[in-house]
């Protein structure tokens, strides 16, 4: 266009740039900035619309500071604001997009001081920012302030706040706002209902969630793909996979196209139920409908086979991933390593652990926990200790649970001193031992007949505000019984009962 003579007007270029800006999948913002610069170099003076497009592009790239500098440029070019708050809205939106709510609020204050009145777009951006950080109290306060002003809240603003309240499980407040919204004559849409249905279901109010869905349908509000995805997910989590499949069928019948979220939810449902044949068929259906299974889908299948104790099929699925050129991730390897460990195929689990690192995937605390547990169960304690040391050397912090697994096995094997060393490590690293860890140490001492030391650990436990439980007391009582010290056994038995605990079968 810049080679045409005479040159097209700035309006023509703006129409082109506006069209380019809508191609969001191509992330055109850097290109637009370059084009607008070249336009100015070609001698075409930018107008207010051009400056707005440029500001929007800078904001999308996270450079709101460059966008702010355009306010001065606009004035320099002789374009007064004239109560036009479009560029302010663009910049406020930019701050919200970059998670800089304080700066957005500061600009809003400056805008008001300059005599501009925030419009529905300004308020919408601020509500979005407040709800994004979960500041529901401020959002509700601003809503009340808005209701008393000249710019009334619209459906989008109400829906944004309702969604935020639902995500924070503030269902009463969400439902109250929903009622207030309707009393103001604002008709809820499918987005509003989706938030409430999801919020009610996630809070355990399943009946109320279904009632809300029924209310939506009675109001002739058609469910969208998000609604259907929620329903499929809800039915699958409740174990009603057949109903979830019926929802998928109905969805397709209505002309709604399922997306990867729909298929993933149903796939997860089949795998949780161990219906692996149906899960495999669904994978094929996904591919037929243009949704090539991704690593999340394959991880779900592998996990399903591992849960069904069919480790060979899980390994076959892993090979399928590699053949398709899909890159396994840490979840893939963790699932397989855990499955192999549970199937007592430790040598293959070790090989998978090496393979994982060979492919540049760093093991995490879940990886180490699975291997460590299996090594302990196979009484390979020296290797387990070495693995824990390797874990720490690689910068992966062992959890209290991992310490517990190793310490328990060491105590069972009579290696009390090594277990005590790890107990001391735990304390020195300021990882507070829990009741299970203390009880493991007490059990190890009792097993060796070191009852005085066991009681010292019990006292330290109480000093550290970690209350003993029934297992702790039963362990001490059994220790005294093994030493034929029935007097102390009786004392701790009475103490246990006074604290509301009961003796177990092994104790009595």
| DSSP alpha helix (H) spans, 42-135 | 48-60, 64-76, 86-97, 101-113, 120-132
pLDDT of res. 289: 83
> Would you tell me the crossing angle of helices 10-21 and 29-41 to the nearest 10 degrees?
170
pLDDT mean over 339-348: 94
Greater pLDDT, 146 or 86: 146
Residues 266, 295 contacting (CB under 8 angstroms): no
Work out the pLDDT band at 429, boundaries 50, 70, 90.
Answer: confident
pLDDT tens profile 452-483: 999 999 998 888 888 999 999 999 999 999 99
CB atoms within 10 A of CB 317: 24
**pLDDT(79) > 70:** no
Per-residue pLDDT tens over the stretch 219-276 = 999 999 999 999 898 888 888 898 888 888 888 888 888 888 888 899 999 998 889 9
14 has a pLDDT exceeding 80: no
* 406 has a pLDDT exceeding 70: yes
pLDDT, position 169: 92
Locate all alpha helices (DSSP H) within 255-399, ordered by sequence.
Answer: 260-272, 276-288, 295-307, 311-323, 330-342, 346-358, 365-377, 381-393
Rounded Cα–Cα distance for residues 20 and 251 (Å): 34
Domain boundaries, the chain: 1-117, 432-508
6 preceded by a cis bond (ω within 30 of 0): yes
The pLDDT of residue 87 is above 90: no
Rounded CA-CA distance 454/467 in Å is: 15
Of 183, 29, 8, residue with least CA distance to 94: 29
Residue 2 has pLDDT above 60, yes or no: no
Q: 193 pLDDT exceeds 70?
A: yes
Give the pLDDT mean for 382-391: 92
- Selected from 1.20.58.1030, 2.60.120.10, 1.25.40.10, 3.30.360.10, the CATH number assigned to the domain covering 432-508 reads 1.25.40.10
């Amino acid at each position: 266009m810049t080679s045409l003579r005479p040159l097209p007007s700035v309006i023509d270029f703006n129409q082109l740039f506006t069209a380019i800006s809508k191609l969001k999948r191509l992330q055109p913002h850097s290109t637009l900035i370059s084009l607008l610069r070249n336009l100015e170099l070609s001698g075409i003076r930018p107008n207010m619309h051009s400056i707005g497009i440029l500001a929007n592009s800078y904001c999308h790239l996270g450079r709101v500071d460059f966008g702010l500098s355009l306010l001065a440029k606009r004035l320099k070019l002789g374009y007064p604001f004239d109560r036009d708050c479009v560029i302010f809205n663009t910049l406020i939106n930019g701050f919200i997009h970059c998670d800089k709510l304080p700066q957005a609020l500061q600009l809003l204050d400056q805008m008001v001081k300059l005599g501009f009145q925030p419009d529905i777009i300004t308020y919408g951006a601020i509500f979005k920012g407040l709800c994004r950080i979960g500041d529901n109290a401020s959002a509700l306060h601003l809503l009340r302030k808005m209701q008393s002003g000249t710019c009334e809240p619209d459906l989008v603003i109400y829906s944004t706040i309702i969604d935020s309240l639902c995500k924070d499980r503030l269902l009463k407040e969400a439902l109250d706002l929903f009622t207030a919204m309707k009393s103001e004559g604002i008709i809820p849409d499918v987005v509003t209902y989706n938030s409430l249905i999801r919020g009610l279901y996630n809070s355990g109010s399943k009946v109320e969630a279904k009632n809300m869905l029924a209310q939506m349908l009675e109001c002739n509000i058609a469910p969208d793909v998000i609604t259907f995805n929620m329903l499929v997910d809800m039915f699958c989590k409740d174990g009603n996979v057949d109903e979830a499949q019926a929802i998928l069928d109905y969805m397709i019948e209505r002309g709604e196209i399922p997306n990867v979220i729909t298929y993933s939810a149903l796939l997860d449902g089949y795998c949780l139920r161990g219906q692996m044949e149906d899960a495999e068929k669904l994978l094929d259906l996904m591919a037929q409908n243009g949704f090539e299974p991704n690593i999340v889908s394959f991880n779900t299948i592998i996990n399903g086979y591992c849960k069904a104790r069919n480790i060979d099929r899980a390994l076959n699925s892993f090979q399928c991933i590699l053949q398709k050129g899909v890159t396994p991730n840490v979840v893939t390897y963790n699932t397989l390593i855990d499955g192999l460990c549970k199937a007592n195929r430790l040598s293959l689990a070790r090989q998978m652990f090496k393979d994982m690192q060979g492919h540049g995937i760093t093991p995490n605390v879940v990886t180490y926990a699975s291997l460590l547990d299996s090594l302990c169960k196979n009484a390979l304690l020296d290797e387990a200790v070495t693995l824990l040391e390797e874990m720490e050397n690689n910068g992966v912090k062992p959890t209290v649970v991992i310490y517990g697994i190793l310490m328990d096995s060491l105590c069972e094997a009579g290696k009390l001193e090594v277990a005590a060393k790890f107990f001391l490590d735990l304390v020195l690293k300021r990882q507070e031992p829990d009741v299970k860890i203390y009880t493991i140490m007490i059990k190890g001492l009792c097993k060796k007949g070191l009852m005085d030391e066991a009681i010292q650990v019990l006292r330290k436990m109480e000093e550290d505000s970690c209350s003993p439980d029934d297992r702790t007391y039963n362990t001490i009582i059994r220790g005294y019984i093994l030493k034929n010290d029935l007097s102390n056994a009786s004392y701790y038995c009475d103490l246990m009962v006074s604290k509301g605990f009961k003796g177990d079968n092994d104790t009595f």
